[in-house]
Every structure is written in structure tokens, then in C-alpha cells.
Amino acid sequence: MKLRGGYFVMAAALAAALSGPARAADGKLADVVLSNPAISLSFSASYIAEDLGLFKKNGLNVKTIEIPGVGSANAIISGSADFAQISSITLTRAAAKGQHMLAIAETSDKPIIQVSMRKELAEAAGFDPKASFAKRASVLRGRTIAVDTVMSCSWPSARGFRKTICTSPSCNRPT
């Protein structure tokens, strides 16, 4: 059965994997560091788990840190973080370089790219949420598109997205 978004899977997998031996012998919470590569809805599973108290219920005192892009994977490799919510692309890159990590769960089966625009700009451009992707994307023509981190997993997607909305070669300059 496929769960939409996979966020429940991520939270359940972390809780199940860590609940048993997480508590120290004296009953105190085990301190762990969770690294996220960006502040993003894509990583909301950990924020929800924290707000619902799931980590503490399972014996964990989680400190969440943000280390942009593949730095989150590097934090695991170096021992600066115990866990990270990283993409399968990042796992593949690490494996190709001989750094094998264990993936507990993947929260999505496709890349997630979020594009935000101020409401008044969208309205002025005639944005229609029911229109085709190309039509919705056209409201971004001539605008600057910012990404979380250059060379992150979202950077190539933003470059490809820009090619979808641009109609002239001068528009396709590097981000």
C-alpha cells in the first residue's frame, strides 16, 4: 500500500527503529542530532514528530540542525549528526563515492520542488491554479528564481524549470 506523501512512513520508521534501545539505562532520553538540508515542507515529518512529542515518547531528545544540501549527508559521515532527512539522490552520490549509509525510509517517490510567489504578483499575472503546468509556470517569466543552495538537489530542477518558462535564449542564463 502506498501512502500519500510518505510523511507517516518516515515518522513511524524513525519511531520503530529507535524506540527499543533508545533510552539510557538510567531512563533518561538519548540525545541525538537530526540534520535537515533545508527548512522545507519536504522535511515536515521531523517537525510534526517533534510537535507531537513522538521523539520524547520514544526515548529521544532530538536536536535538529540545518546543514544545507549534501552537507547533511556529510554530517552523518563525519559523525556530527546521527540522522538526516536526505534525498535518495544524495544517498546515491554518497554510495558512488564509497560512503554507504542506511536509508530507513524515503518520504517521497519523486523530487519535490516548491515554488512560491507573492499573492499580489500571482493575481496581477493572471495565475489560475487549475491551468496546465506550462500556463501556471508562465507567470514566473521574467522573475528571479531563488534556490535553497547552489549545487543542491533542487538546483538542477530549478534550471530545468526555468527552461520550461523561458522563451528566449537570454532567459536561460545560469542561476
In a domain, 111, yes or no: no
Is 1 part of any domain? no
Q: Identify whether residues 89 and 22 lie together within a single domain.
A: yes
Residue 109 lies in a domain: no
Q: Indicate if 124 and 159 belong to the same structural domain.
A: yes
For residue range 57-113, list pLDDT tens digits in order: 999 999 999 998 888 888 988 999 998 888 777 888 888 888 888 888 766 666 666
Domain check: are 70 and 132 in the same one? no
pLDDT, position 65: 93
Q: End of a domain among 63, 96, 129?
A: 96
Q: Both 79 and 20 in a single domain?
A: yes
In this prediction, residue 124 carries a pLDDT of 92
In degrees rounded to 5, what are phi and psi of residue 156?
-65, -35
Task: Quickly state the pLDDT bin for 141 (edges 50, 70, 90).
Answer: confident
What letters, b where the CB count within 10 A reaches 16 and e where it falls short, cover 31-69? ebbbbbbbeeebbbbbeebbeeebbeebbbebebeebeb
Q: Which of 44, 62, 96 is the last residue of a domain?
A: 96
- Indicate whether 23 belongs to any domain: yes
Q: What is the pLDDT of residues 36-61, one digit of tens each?
A: 888 877 778 888 999 999 999 999 99
pTM of the model: 0.56
Q: What is the pLDDT of residue 2?
A: 41
**Same domain? 77 vs 26:** yes
Is the pLDDT at 172 greater than 80? The verdict is no
Residue range(s) defining the domain that contains residue 131: 119-171
Any domain includes 135: yes
Q: How many domains does the chain have?
A: 2
Residues 86 and 123 placed together within one structural domain of the fold: no
DSSP symbol at 175: -
